[in-house]
Amino acid sequence: MLDSFSNCGLYSSLASIREQLVDDSVEAFLVNNGNIPKWQKAITELSSFAKSDLKYRAPYLSIDNNIDNIADIEKQLKQLIPWRKGPYKIGNLAIDSEWRCDLKWERISQHIQPLDNRTVLDVGSGNGYFTIMMALSGARIALGLDPFLLYNFQFQAIRCLINNPPNAFVLPLRLEQIPDIDAFDSVFSMGVLYHQKDHMMHLHKLKKMIASGGELILETLVIDSDTASDLVPNGRYARMRNVWMIPTISKLKSWLEDAGFSYIKLVDINKTSTKEQHSTPWIGNNSKSLIDFLDQKNQDLTVEGYPAPKRATFICRNL
């Protein structure tokens, strides 16, 4: 995968940091993780199968693989459980991921500037479902960042089955590892902000990555604007660790203003449903999902007693 990224068609200032990105990614894969041999073996096995064309057929990113030994592909893909983002389909094999990412993409894509010929950054990309969708939507290159190595292997597993894969890549890096380089026309940060100890540092860093006239697409947890104050969870929120602060919509807008963004527009508010986030066999033995994270007597609350997850999407410009 890193060879593919290193050899892809990059341009101008982004090309100037390609070597550093590859070197940092190689170092990330050298971490002492006992699962890596199993994951790498799965990739090696999957790479031996015939490649087929990729298309989006809602809700799936679908690879038209008609080979007889689909059970062998399934066996290797299950070495990479849990599959959080998707869904994907290889031949008749559906990878029913925990998240129906197509639903979020349908909500968001109608509001963004067209991605045709744009350079796109997808922060917190997971296994690259959205990154691939961005490339299929016409991006010149879509670069995903996710430090969790399993998601990088999942992306590689899907990519190695595609004939003429799109110009989409996922690297095992954090946003703060990327040099300040305003090379991206569209920057997506979805489901990331509430995991940041310093939310303003994250927003300032995002702005530094965006070319003049470019666009930020920010999707994050919020609480209702009529709430008295922002939510700072004591411990976990909906069973999630490292949720540092969930702002009101008005507070989030003020953060974006303070970070120097213009044309700040709220385009979507959506309460997360059990249709969009659900338990499936593809997330493994620890199969709990949203329904288990909500109060069973009042699903407007989490098990901790906080307001149930609600997500807002803002579109901003870097003028």
Residues 6 or more apart whose CB falls under 8 angstroms from that of 164 comprise 53
pLDDT at 286: 84
* Residue 210 scores a pLDDT above 90: yes
pTM of the model: 0.96
Q: What is the pLDDT of residue 10?
A: 67
Average pLDDT of 247-252?
A: 95
**With bands split at pLDDT 50, 70 and 90, how would you rate the model's confidence at 154?**
very high
Answer for the pair 289, 271: CB distance below 8 angstroms, yes or no.
no
DSSP string across 76-92: HHGGG----S--EEETT
Q: What is the mean pLDDT of the chain?
A: 94
pLDDT score for 4: 79
Q: Could you tell me the CA-to-CA distances from 200 to 188, 245, 260, 266 in Å, in that order? A: 16, 12, 11, 18
pLDDT in tens, 269-313: 999 999 999 999 999 988 899 999 999 999 999 999 999 999 999
pLDDT at 11: 61
pLDDT at residue 263, rounded to an integer: 94
CB 137 within 8 A of CB 117: no
Which residues neighbour 209 within 8 Å (Cβ) at sequence distance 6 or greater?
121, 175, 178, 180, 181, 182, 183, 184, 187
E strand or H helix that includes residue 250? helix 249-258
d(CA 192, CA 229): 21
Is 225 a residue whose pLDDT tops 80?
no
Tokens of 315: 């579109």
Q: What is the pLDDT of residues 44-85, one digit of tens each?
A: 999 999 899 999 999 999 998 777 788 999 999 999 999 999
Q: Does 226 have pLDDT greater than 70?
A: no
Task: Supply 181's token pair.
Answer: 């380089």
Q: Which has the closest alpha carbon to 236: 174, 309, 300?
A: 309
Do the beta carbons of residue 263 and residue 315 sit within 8 Å?
yes
What structural domains does the chain harbor? 2-318 (3.40.50.150)
Cα 274 from chain centroid?
19
Measured at the CA of 201, the angle between CA 182 and CA 113, to 5 degrees, comes to: 45
Per-residue pLDDT reduced to its tens digit, 1-18: 677 777 776 666 678 888
The pLDDT of residue 17 is 85
Helix (H, G, I), strand (E, B) or coil at 271: strand
pLDDT at 21 over 70: yes
**What integer is the mean pLDDT of 105-114?**
97
Of 160, 190, 16, nearest to 80 (Cα)? Answer: 160
Helix or strand run (H / E) with residue 184: strand 184-190
Could you tell me if 252 and 312 are in contact, meaning their C-beta atoms sit under 8 angstroms apart? yes
Strands 310-318, 210-221: pairing is antiparallel
Residue with the two structure tokens 């094999």: 93
